[in-house]
Amino acid sequence: MTERQRAVVTGGAGFLGSHLCDALLAQGWSVVVVDNLVTGRLANLEHLRQEPRFEFVEKDICDPFDVGKVNFVFHFASPASPVDYSIHGIPTLKVGSLGTFHALDLARKYSAKYLVSSTSECYGDPLEHPQKETYWGHVNPIGPRSVYDEAKRFTEAVTMAYRRYHNVDTRIVRIFNTYGPRMQLNDGRVVPNFMKQALRGEDLTVYGDGCQTRSFCYVSDEIDGFMGLAKSDEHLPVNIGNPNEFTILECAKVVLKVTGSKSQIRYEPLPQDDPKQRRPDITKARQLLGWEPKIDLETGLRLSLDYFRKAVAEEAATAK
């Protein structure tokens, strides 16, 4: 009998990390999560508590860590929402630097494969549209968002260095806007903001004129992309996201349709360094992994509706 494959997921109590754990377990892996719960939540892993192939370690990976022999390191630890990284700016820089070194050291020690979650924020406010992996980006290195953008750019640099100098078998996924169940209700991103406001009957807040665009990928499609990349031998960054672009205003209207809300739209000034356009060129993922998203925005929002309804109700109950 072959030995069961064991993976470590840093940041596994987060939105994407917890869905990745589900996918790995479904494919027969044993999974150990390492998370300091700064932004991750045990509620995201509650359904795995009785799973014998799952273990959870509460630890800050900015300190060296060793969970024993693993075959794969998935480095997903980092605050990822504007609300979180504006509060936890220094920890975001630390986990992108120190945490990345420690995750790579673990992979190196056990000759494990390695996949790191990077971001479309590496492209900043792009001058190229849509964004290909070869685009170097247009990033403000000292702006309020730089704690996240530059942390992830440095994460990629360290990852490539460990491949070049230590021959670690690395992969880099650049994640574009993803949404779905287990997103934090107050994470400041477009979909949870709109869903929360619509379900509460509040005005939907649109920044600027609402003509800035985003591309939204449903979480199950995103995870399929990660799993495809994990099985591949590609070491350079790969965009995983949905190339179907929506204006923020269009997104607001789809949310109103799905929720049946009578909310109005309220316009507010655009935050500093907020990108005007964001859309992945996924030619590489299509050719290399045979991957492309299957779930459109309206379908994905309907699949997320129960989760957001429950989250809004829970928040209202705890506020009483």
Q: Report the catalytic residues.
A: 148
Please list, in sequence order, all residues whose beta carbon lies within 8 angstroms of the beta carbon of residue 165, skipping any fewer than 6 positions away.
none
Q: To 10 degrees, what angle do helices 146-166 and 100-109 make?
A: 20
Element (H, E) at 86: helix 82-87
* Assigned token pair, 27: 């494919």
Shortest CA distance to 11 belongs to which of 108, 81, 86, 87?
A: 81
Please list, in sequence order, all residues whose beta carbon lies within 8 angstroms of the beta carbon of residue 222, skipping any fewer than 6 positions away.
16, 19, 175, 178, 240, 241, 293
Query: How long is the chain?
Result: 320
Task: Give the whole-angstrom CA distance, residue 140 versus residue 156.
Answer: 17
Please spell the DSSP secondary structure of 162-222, one letter per residue. Answer: HHHHH---EEEEEE--EE-TT--TTS-SHHHHHHHHHHHTPPEEEETTS--EEE-EEHHHH
Distances from the Cα of 149 to the Cα of 60, 132, 138, 141, 202, angstroms: 21, 17, 10, 8, 31
Please list, in sequence order, all residues whose beta carbon lies within 8 angstroms of the beta carbon of residue 253, skipping any fewer than 6 positions away.
none
Q: To 10 degrees, what angle do helices 219-231 and 15-26 make?
A: 60
